[in-house]
Amino acid sequence: MLASHWKTAGKIACSLAAATVLISQSHSQDASQQLDVTAELFDCITQMAKSASGSFFVDNILGDQDATQAAADSETGASYPPGSVVSLIPTEVMVKHNPGWNPETNDWEFIELNVSEAGSEINVRGTTEVVNQFGGNCFDCHKLARPEWDLICGSDHGCAPLPITRETIIGIQNSDPRCVREDA
């Protein structure tokens, strides 16, 4: 009797502790599932692999390029593997952390870079709160992609289209200053 009473008390204490952790972590991530992502990982966009649609570029910082490429090339949607790096324009990158890192963003981190001939610097990084240099919240736009697309907008996954033409996007990709570095 006494033992079961203490078990119940223990369970309540445990759930309270869990609830407190959840509340205090509502804007942070599970550090144990976080990949080590530093600015040095990001370089010339056009040296990354192209998605089958031809619109964006992909890589994988864990060496799992094939799985990332398969997800990017899927015609029906796919969940990207951990380590995936996706980029449409040099200054904006999405990186996939390990499962459970941040369920709300499907474990994607949104990153805005400053890029120059000297390389990349991380300007802003995070999850649902990241706002780009144009005042747009990455997640607010990308969450409109239908669930099977894993927050990847593409040109027909449900996101509102960007107000720039494909030619402009290709022009921005081809003028990435990191691609003309002498040591690149």
Q: Binding of ligand HEC at residue 61 (CB under 6 A)?
A: no
Phi-psi map region of 37: left, alpha, beta (phi>0 left; psi -120 to 50 alpha):
beta
The binding track of 115-154 with respect to ligand HEC, each residue x by CB under 6 A or -, is: ---------------x-x---xxx--xx---------xxx
> Which of 29, 43, 56, 119 lies at the binding interface for ligand HEC (CB under 6 A)?
56
> Which of 161, 167, 182, 183 lies at the binding interface for ligand HEC (CB under 6 A)?
161
Which amino acid is residue 134, in one-letter code?
F
Please give the angle made by the CA atoms of 138, 98 and 93, to the nearest 5 degrees: 30
Q: How far is the CB of 125 from ligand HEC (least distance, A)?
A: 9
The binding track of 68-97 with respect to ligand HEC, each residue x by CB under 6 A or -, is: ------------------xxx---xxx---
User: How are the residues of the chain apportioned to helix, strand and coil, as percentages rounded to the nearest 5?
Assistant: 35, 20, 45
Report DSSP state, residue 110.
Answer: E
Decide if 79 contacts 95 (C-beta within 8 A). Answer: no
Residues that bind ligand HEC (CB under 6 A): 55-56, 86-88, 92-94, 110-112, 130, 132, 136-138, 141-142, 152-155, 159, 161-162
